[in-house]
A and B are shown apart, each in its own frame.
Chain A
Amino acid sequence: MPVANIQVSETPLVLYALRRADDALILGHRLSEWCGHAPMLEEDMALSNIALDLLGQARELYTYAAKAEGKDNDEDKLAYLRDVRQYRNLLLVEQPNGGFAQTLVRQFFYSAFADLYWRAMMASRDTTLAAIAAKSEKESAYHLRHASEWIIRLGDGTDESRARAQAAIDHLWAFTGEMFAVDEGECALIHADIAIDPGSLRGRWLTTLSGVVSEATLELPQTDWMQQGGRTGRHSEHLGHLLSELQSMQRTFPGQTW
């Protein structure tokens, strides 16, 4: 029975696409958990839209990863038949929704990066990645605007909302460093103009954050210590639970078509 995990030949390009695909899937999955439970119907609509954008990005990236790998994997095998140690997403995106503040701060940190990242990736020499970037850039730009407006309202709203937003910022800050890290394989892709150097985006990312956070009367933490590990499959405990839910059908009824 094909119940076991698939094996993926993680060439630098496959791994690169897989990492971004996992980011988008896991974050989209987290947002989809809100569906039916948001603070107002209008926000149910908004969060579902963002989740659908991310799910769409994930599907394109998985399909590309499978194609680059050139074996018989596909988007569903990559999503449903890898376990927690094989997932390559950022620790940030797997963090639980918490309350509305934590979800929106997580989104804000990620979208502020994704917006810059996809815009830069439009210049990739890899035409598939450049095309995915062109589509994702517009989506991310809106996600960033949506999240920023909420950060401002939560920060400059009531005492309670301000405290919740600040606590979420303080809690999630340590997961942001990983967005700017690269390994050897990625360096090679950067040299080949297939990938971009995320480190070069950090200054602008901080400027975006500072602008919104100060308008929101909030503060960014001063700490430099950053958690790492998602990119190599060393995750927080939260991801395993997410995957056991995400993959439950494929694991219970292996090898079937749905």
Chain B
Amino acid sequence: MYTQALSTTETDDRGLEDAAKAAQFQARIDAEERIEPNDWMPAAYRKTLTRQISQHAHSEIVGMLPEGNWITRAPSLRRKAALLAKVQDECGHGLYLYAAAETLGTSREELVDAMLAGKAKYSSIFNYPTLTWADIGIIGWLVDGAAIMNQIPLCRCSYGPYARAMIRVCKEESFHQRQGYEIVLTLCRGSDEQQAMAQEALNRWWWPVLMMFGPPDATSQHSDTSTKWKIKRFSNDELRQKFVDATVPQAQYLGLTIPDPGMIQDADGHWPYSEIDWTEFKQVLAGNGPCNRDRLAARGKAHDEGAWVREAAAAYAAKRARRQTAQAAE
């Protein structure tokens, strides 16, 4: 997930590189071989992946904030432990993904600096606020649900380190969506007030979640190369429809109403949805979502306030190395 913000594509520079190598590379991709860090790869492949993987990593890390907002207020100790473990998982996923991006030759520090400087994107979904406890349930159920839709095909992505990171992520995330659904289910079985809380949260999150899959295929600029390179295996609209089809019966079971009144299942079993308001999407992407500034400020603060700690650890490591060298010389 979280790669919808990819707004430009690298120019295909095969012409500038060894044409034979490029052909060989494409043949390996076509044969479903995995590309590994030291393998030759077109510069555009490297650049596209670095951006996509790091964007994915930034999304995991920024994604800790909206849910982290409720760790200290979780309404039971059981929920508190589950939520903390979930948000911690997201940190781990960011960490695995940064490591995968680093195999392409850019350090985590550079990637993070770019994000903090506003030069790298993260998923827009995290620019919405978590206002009630129901939001935590809805995020687990829908945001993680949407993420899983996108991440499962990424387990077969042509770039080995990314695919391996995604396998680990998908394995660990299997509890996230269930955790969210259970929260919403508990609300829906609870008091009128709790049911209303769940419905209200669904109303707020539904459309932003559908936007997570990125612009409609007709306007998406970068899918062609990504598909050719087997980074992307399904189009935005395909995944979005798959998600809606899976979600509608889950909402029905909960007794919740999807805030799209005209929905009727078609003959093929799909649930067509109304047109998405892409102006909002573009605004949030441009930095004007409800929480864009808060999110960046929070990550920037953690980074800046942690600088002296990282410096201390580095200084100690240098001292220890010197002492060990001196000891060895004795």
Contacts and interface: CB of A to CB of B under 8 A. Distances in A.
Consider the complex of A and B and state whether they touch directly, i.e. have CB atoms less than 8 Å apart.
yes
B186 A258 contact: yes
B312 A32 contact: no
A153 B316 CA distance: 6
Nearest to A156: B316
B286 interface: no
B193 interface: yes
B75 interface: yes
Given A32-B72, A156-B316, 18 more contacts: A33-B71, A35-B91, A36-B298, A37-B68, A44-B88, A45-B91, A45-B95, A48-B84, A48-B88, A59-B78, A75-B77, A76-B77, A100-B305, A157-B315, A158-B308, A160-B311, A164-B308, A256-B190
A48 B89 CA distance: 10
9 contacts: A32-B72, A32-B80, A38-B306, A39-B307, A43-B309, A52-B85, A99-B305, A164-B308, A256-B190
Interface in B293-330: 298, 301-302, 305-313, 315-316, 319
A257 interface: yes
Interface string A24-68: 010001001101111111111100110110011011001000000
B87 A48 contact: yes
A42 B95 contact: yes
Contacts of A112: none
B209 interface: no
B133 A249 contact: yes
A250 B302 contact: no
Interface of A: 25, 29, 32-33, 35-45, 48-49, 51-52, 55-56, 58-59, 62, 75-76, 79-80, 99-100, 152-154, 156-158, 160-161, 164, 245-246, 248-250, 253, 256-258
Contacts of B308: 158, 160-161, 164
B194 A256 contact: yes
Nearest to B312: A157
A30 to B, nearest CB: 9
Interface centre among A44, A79, A152, A257 (most CB of B within 10 A): A44
A36 B186 contact: no
Nearest to B313: A153
B144 to A, nearest CB: 17
A80 B73 CA distance: 10
Interface centre among A41, A43, A154 (most CB of B within 10 A): A41
Contact residues on B (Cβ < 8 Å of other chain), bracket: 35 or more
A36 B84 contact: no
A152 B313 CA distance: 9
A50 to B, nearest CB: 11
Contacts, number: 138
A158 B315 contact: yes
Interface string B97-136: 0100000000000000000000000000000000001000
A55 B72 CA distance: 12
Contacts of A37: 68, 298, 301-302
B116 to A, nearest CB: 14
Given A164-B308, A258-B79, A36 B87 contact: yes
Interface centre among A56, A58, A160 (most CB of B within 10 A): A160
A248 B91 contact: no
B312 A158 contact: yes
Contacts of B85: 48, 52
Interface centre among B76, B305, B309, B319 (most CB of A within 10 A): B309
Given A49-B88, A158-B315, A245-B73, A40 B81 contact: no
Interface string B179-201: 00001001100110110000000
A57 to B, nearest CB: 11
A158 B79 CA distance: 40
Nearest to A31: B84
A52 B92 CA distance: 15
A76 B262 CA distance: 42
B64 interface: yes
A39 B302 contact: yes
